[in-house]
Amino acid sequence: MNLRLVTLGLASLAPPSTSVAAPGPKVVPAPPMPSGATRPLRKWAFRHKAKLKQWLDASPSYLPYPLLNRLGLQVIRVLAAWWRYALRRQRNHPELAQHEAALDREGIAVIRDFLPSDDFAALAAAYAEFGHSGRVTCVRNKDGTGVDWYTGRIDCGYEKSAAERMLSEKIARHPAVLNLAEHVLRRSVKEPPTLSYQRLVVEHGYVDDKDVEGVLHSDRYYPCVKMAFYVNAQEEANGAYVYCRGSHRRSMARLRHEYEYSVRESRFLLGKKSRLDPKLMERGRPRISDEHTRAMDLSPSAIVAPANTLVVSNNIGFHRRGTISPGRERQQIRIIFYYVQRPWYGRLAARLFFRGRDPASDHPDAMGKMA
Ligand SMILES: [Fe+2]
């Protein structure tokens, strides 16, 4: 007889209690094993998904080899990625022509009134309900940045509430979301993206001036897509996303920046901060040099928009998280497509072992931690 049956048996013999039980820790059941878990290989992959992620995900933007980068490693990586992208066929959708043109021209599309008003009202209620559930965690004054981060994965495959299913249906399965991702990536996008709840709050008395995501950067050296759905109105004061329009273009100026930045970043990755020019550091991370900022004509602007706006961003372009003023908050649903952007062997493994879903549930982007 197992221990659980013994425990249940003893509990049934105890007199009924009239007192209210003290609230205990919320028990989140382990995610179910994949249905094919009887197959040893799939079972092994499921258990070791965190380690597999390192091998299956797209390679990092910069590699920690200063000498090789000085010899041109990053330039080779960048040119190879741009070449592969140029060879992929464009994927256009006539009903989204206006937004696809904006993505081609500026690297960003801002779609106001994305959902019908009734749907948005229902979605906002679902967002609030999910925010009060045990699925959302709060890190107060995260890393001493002055910002309280409320984040949680939505629709991550088990214990879905009605609110969660609704958020997923209205956003992750929206045809425009999938089709605009296809347009940016020039890849077929059939699986719904990872969604995450994100609410950033700066309480009175705190200053949002330390988060590294507040430094202008690009996520990748090749086109990649990230989306955010604005649940509340976003203006400069509550940290609207900041993007340099047109910075997604692949150019000689960008290639020169990649070369120069890769040498500094590789030293940074190796912890050799003493060898870095402090004037080229910001909030503890290397920043884009003034010379390359001018050469690439970077001009950051806040993507100010009302609630019920979908922002589609090609994050090869330069961007940062907007600064939140004390007493203000930013509410978003983050829409992440990195599962599509793995190399072919990573996508194949995901399809075989994880039914195409993101095995990297602990990816920082998936948790909505990026700008
Ligand atoms: Fe970013």
The three state secondary structure string of 256-287 is HHHHHHHHHHHHHHCCCHHHCCHHHEECCEEC
- Enumerate residues 6+ apart whose C-beta is below 8 A from 148: 138, 139, 140, 141, 142, 200, 201, 202, 203
pLDDT digits (tens, 9 = 90+) for 87-114: 999 999 999 999 999 999 999 999 999 9
Residue 253 lies in a domain: yes
Amino acid, res. 306? P
pLDDT digits (tens, 9 = 90+) for 114-164: 999 999 999 999 999 999 988 899 999 999 999 999 999 987 656 678 888
Token duo for residue 153: 């994965």
For residue 182, pLDDT over 60 is answered with: yes
Residue 159 lies in a domain: yes
Q: Where are the alpha helices (DSSP H) in the chain?
A: 3-13, 40-47, 49-56, 66-70, 73-87, 97-106, 117-131, 162-167, 175-185, 252-269, 290-295, 344-354
How does DSSP classify residue 62?
S
- Beta-carbon neighbours within 5 Å of ion ligand 1: 219, 370-371
Q: How far apart are CA 51 and CA 349, in angstroms?
A: 13
Q: Are strands 137-139 and 281-282 parallel, antiparallel or unpaired?
A: unpaired
Question: What is the reported pLDDT for 7?
Answer: 39
pLDDT mean over 53-68: 84
Q: Are strands 309-314 and 328-336 parallel, antiparallel or unpaired?
A: unpaired
Q: How far apart are CA 48 and CA 46, in angstroms?
A: 6
CA of 225 to the centre of ligand 1 (A): 10
CA of 24 to the centre of ligand 1 (A): 38
Q: Does residue 254 sit in helix, strand or coil?
A: helix
Residue 36 lies in a domain: no
Q: Which of 331, 334, 328 is CA-nearest to residue 369?
A: 334
* Number of domain units in the chain: 1
Main-chain phi, psi angles of 97, to 5 degrees: -55, -40
CA of 6 to the centre of ligand 1 (A): 52
CA of 315 to the centre of ligand 1 (A): 7
For residue 200, pLDDT over 70 is answered with: yes
CA of 34 to the centre of ligand 1 (A): 32
What CATH number does residue 120 fall under?
2.60.120.620
pLDDT digits (tens, 9 = 90+) for 282-321: 999 999 999 999 999 999 999 999 999 999 999 999 999 9
- Half-sphere CA count of 220, side-chain side, radius 13 A: 21
Q: How confident is the model at residue 366 (pLDDT cuts 50, 70, 90)?
A: very low
CA of 215 to the centre of ligand 1 (A): 9
Q: How far apart are CA 185 and CA 224, in angstroms?
A: 6
Residue 257 burial (10 A CB sphere; 0-12, 13-18, 19+): buried
Residue 8 lies in a domain: no
pLDDT digits (tens, 9 = 90+) for 350-364: 777 665 554 444 444
CA of 122 to the centre of ligand 1 (A): 29
Q: How far apart are CA 295 and CA 265, in angstroms?
A: 19
Residue 146 lies in a domain: yes
CA of 61 to the centre of ligand 1 (A): 12
Range of the domain at 332: 62-341
CA of 216 to the centre of ligand 1 (A): 8
Q: How far apart are CA 292 and CA 286, in angstroms?
A: 13
CA of 358 to the centre of ligand 1 (A): 19
For residue 259, pLDDT over 70 is answered with: yes
Q: Other CB atoms closer than 10 Å to residue 227's CB: what's the count?
A: 24
Q: How confident is the model at residue 16 (pLDDT cuts 50, 70, 90)?
A: very low
Residue 24 lies in a domain: no
- Measured on CA atoms in the order 82, 106, 184, 294, is the torsion positive or negative? positive
| Average pLDDT value for the chain | 85
Residue 131 lies in a domain: yes
Amino acid, res. 22? A
Residue 158 lies in a domain: yes
Q: Report the predicted TM-score, pTM, of the whole model to 2 decimal places.
A: 0.81
In contact, 89 and 187? CB cutoff 8 Å: no
In Å, what is the CA distance from 143 to each residue of 69, 117, 139, 147?
A: 31, 37, 9, 9
Main-chain phi, psi angles of 217, to 5 degrees: -160, 170
Q: What percent of the chain has pLDDT over 90?
A: 67
Q: How far apart are CA 9 and CA 2, in angstroms?
A: 11
CA of 178 to the centre of ligand 1 (A): 20
For residue 51, pLDDT over 90 is answered with: no
Token duo for residue 244: 């340099």
